[in-house]
Each structure stands twice: as C-alpha cells, then as structure tokens.
Chain A
C-alpha cells in the first residue's frame, strides 16, 4: 500500500539526511535550520527500534523487576488512554448537552455561540497548569479527588468545544425542505430532534468526535506534565528526555508511543463511525 511506501520514504529521508548532510546541520545566515546529524541529535532508526527492547534501568518505575522500554511505553500509553477516555466521555456529553440547549432555546444560542466559536481559536490548553491545582487532595463526602481526575477534566475541557461546534452545525444542517415537512406533520421539538436533526447531524458529529478524541489525548498528555502525574505517557516522555543526554532514542520510543495512542483514539472513533453507516450522506458535509 502507498502508505507503507510513504513511511518507508520518510525513513529513507531520515537516514539519507544523516548520511549526506553536513555533521553540524544546515546553516542559513548563521542560524542552524536543519539539525545536526550526530547520533545524539538524530538517532539511527535501528537504535530507536532497539530502544524499545532495552531494559528500563533507572526509569520512572522503580519497583519490581526491570521491564523493557516497550512495556513501559505500553503501560503508560494505556493509562493516558484511560484518562483521556474519561475526559472524552465527559467532554462529549457536555458538548452534546450544550448543543441541544442552544438548539432548544434561541436565547442561549445567541448568548453562548460566539463564545463557543471563539473558544476554538484561543489556547485553552494554556489553562492546564492552573486547572490542575483544582481539587487536588480535596474530597466531597466519600468521593476522593484523585490527581488523574484533574487530567481527565482538562481533557474534557478540550474535547467539549469541537463536539459543541460540530453538533450545533449538524443540528442546523437539515435542509429547509425537511424541516418544513416536519413542521407540517406537527412533530414536536423532541420528535424532530430524534428523527430528523440527530440523524442529519451524524456526518458533522463524527469529524468533531475525531477532533475531540485527538484533543483529549493531547490534553491528557499536557495535563500530565502540568499536574505532575506519574504513570502516563506525557510524564514518561519528560522523564526520558531528562535522562536523555547521550541517548535520546528512548524519548523517540515514548513519542512514538504517544503518536500511536493518538491513532488508536482516532481509530476507535472511526469504528464507531462505521456503525453509523446508515446516516452517512453523499456530498460535502465536512
């Protein structure tokens, strides 16, 4: 498949650059614009491959037998996936409800929609270090706030806006012909919602969910670093990069793990999308 060819080409470019470019990188007007080709700066692909199998000595997990880097990466990625999933679920629910609210009551739409649109443009993730302090160590009754919940909240924060926007656009998408028919048939708001607007919204919702899934993963990773939560892949990347002075190949391993995590999240949404094949529409709804 062409994709594999593409990946192979990328690999070839990597190694090719290492082989042929000047050792000190490529300089333009005195500033280096392309990196040094030493192994410390750009590890060989084979080194990265082997790094996965190497034992993890002095790593984040110090109890029990030493495990391979691959194990660490997979475990960390799984943790991050779980927190991102919780955040995703919350974000999707909130975004969904907000879109429904704006559909039901026009005044809410007029008041909130500009903020929802603007929120897509501003770096909300900049709030991560601040939000992380909320709820730390507090408890409501018997419900104890764990640190990972802050991570999930930040992930939810980032997931909620694409879902709200996509859902709103989708709910508005039915053509005038269809909407008028439902009015003729004296269908109430709820019935129109279930039978017309929601099915019509599917082609808009799915790309939004994919965006939200990616956003949840990014949010989780950044949040882990800001919150200082161990066990996830964000923290693992940081840990490895702090150890990395002579051998950065582990950092590559962890980053590849994070990249794969993002792909897995998107793949899950795509599977969900396939289940909704009946609501797919032909032309440009994206």
Chain B
C-alpha cells in the first residue's frame, strides 16, 4: 500500500511534467508558427524518426559500437592503472595529477589529431577518443575506492601480518566495487557523447554525429532532431546497462543512480 503511494508520488510528477512539456512544445510551435529550422514540432520529429528509422538505427549501431569498444578499453585501462597507482605510490603520484589535468581538457579536441594518424576510413580515432574519455572517470573513481582503508581494517590486517597484495585483494578491491560502478555509470554516458561528438571533427561518417551534421547541412531539421533523439536513446541504453550491471554484481550494496 505504502509502496504504491510512494511510487505514484515519485513517478507521477516527472511523467506529467514530461507530457505537459511535449504537449506545450507542440502547441507553441504550431501556434507561433515557428519554422522547422528553428524548432520542429514533436509530431514532425516523430514522423521523421519513423520514416528514417532504419537509417537512424544503423547509425546508432555504428556509434554504439564505437562507444562500447572505447568504453571497454578505457575501463580496463582505468582499473589497471588505478590498481598500479595504489600499489606503487610513486607511480600514483605521477599519474594522478596527469589524469586530473586530462579531466579538465576537451578530450574530443584530440579527434583531428587522431584522424590524422590513421587512414580516413578507420574507426580507431573515435574509439580512442571514447577510450580516453571513459578512462578518466573510471581511473579517478577506482583510485578513490582503492585508496580507502579504514583504520580498523588497517590495524586488523597489520595484526594478521598480511602483505600489501593481500590487503589489496581482500579489502581494497571489494571495497572499491561501488566506486568502480559510479565511475562506470559516468563513463558509459561520456562514451556515447564522445562517440557522437568526435564525428563532428571529420573522418569516417557512419554514426549519429554525422547524421546530425548532414541533416543540418541539408536543412532537414526534423531528421536532425530525430537523430539527436536516437543519440539520447543510445545514451540511456548505455546508462541503464551500467545500472543493471551494478545491480547484478553488487546487489544490495548498489548506490542510488543519483
């Protein structure tokens, strides 16, 4: 009983808000007679999406694959380097500030450089941009998780005369799991964003990013918006996948998505 009331209280307002928003958008566009190059009506976007859905889906597939490959590579690198940074503090002292600096930089700006390094038809540049974008939050979060060692656990391990590796294995790594998943959630969203945006800088044009720029170039704004919605959907899929993975691996200890 209480659960249903709570669910309604929490789900209803955003749903109502969303419906009102879309309805308001539709009315505003029609009533103010706004031309589609400024803001197309939701109905136009929908029909464009339906018509071009195979095109959007295939583009989403390419962007999604780039995002996935880059995410996996970036995640593995992030975890390995974070573990290394904890185990060898000197290395950690060198790598961590560099990664912090990398976090402040516009990573997608590397796309033109990478495009130059490979053949024009290679998918590698954008996957590398994704990998770097995903690596940063995972490294930072896993490092934070691995660095925590509660004083009581430290003394406990000391009383067991346990080696540094044993401490890493039994306490730091399991304790760092929630942090890893926080990083993964952030990284999965960033991966999609990087995959889409890296196409704005030229190179192979098979993903959602080029769909958007091509549609804008052809002044087909409903199609561009439809591709944007495709990108949004792709981002949501990745994010939800990360949430599900967390729930499966960590179970009751999963943190809230907020």
Contacts and interface: CB of A to CB of B under 8 A. Distances in A.
Please determine if A and B sit in direct contact within the complex, based on CB atoms under 8 angstroms apart.
yes
A126 B106 contact: no
A210 B196 contact: no
B116 A225 contact: no
B112 A255 contact: yes
A244 to B, nearest CB: 6
Interface in A230-286: 234, 237-238, 241, 244, 248, 251-252, 255, 258-259, 261-263, 265-266, 286
A282 to B, nearest CB: 14
Contacts of B228: 126-127, 130
Interface residues of B, number: 64
Interface stretch (B6-14, B23-31, B46-54, B160-168): B6-14
B221 A130 contact: yes
Interface in B1-50: 9-10, 13-14, 16-18, 37-39
A123 interface: yes
> What is the predominant secondary structure among interface residues of chain B facing chain A?
helix
B75 interface: no
Contacts of B104: 210, 213-214, 262-263, 265-266
Contacts of A75: none
Interface stretch (B76-84, B117-125, B169-177, B244-252): B117-125
Contacts of A251: 112-113, 116
B66 interface: no
A115 B18 contact: yes
A221 to B, nearest CB: 5
A137 to B, nearest CB: 12
B109 A5 contact: no
Interface in A109-143: 110-115, 117-118, 120-123, 125-130, 133-134
A129 B202 contact: no
Contact of B98 (A6, A42, A133, A222): A6
A51 to B, nearest CB: 13
Contacts, number: 171
A134 B192 contact: no
Interface string B183-207: 0010011001100110011100000
Contact of A32 (B17, B95, B124, B144): B124
Interface stretch (A33-41, A88-96, A176-184): A33-41
B97 A2 contact: yes
Interface of A: 2-3, 5-7, 9-10, 31-33, 35-36, 40-42, 107, 110-115, 117-118, 120-123, 125-130, 133-134, 165, 169, 210, 213-214, 217-218, 221-222, 225-226, 234, 237-238, 241, 244, 248, 251-252, 255, 258-259, 261-263, 265-266, 286
22 contacts: A3-B97, A10-B98, A32-B118, A35-B117, A35-B118, A110-B14, A111-B14, A115-B17, A122-B235, A123-B197, A123-B234, A125-B193, A134-B39, A214-B104, A221-B106, A222-B108, A222-B197, A238-B112, A238-B201, A238-B202, A241-B202, A265-B104
Interface of B: 9-10, 13-14, 16-18, 37-39, 90, 93-95, 97-98, 101, 103-110, 112-113, 115-119, 122, 124, 144, 185, 188-189, 192-193, 196-197, 200-202, 208-209, 212-213, 216, 221, 224-225, 227-228, 231-232, 234-236, 238-239, 257-258
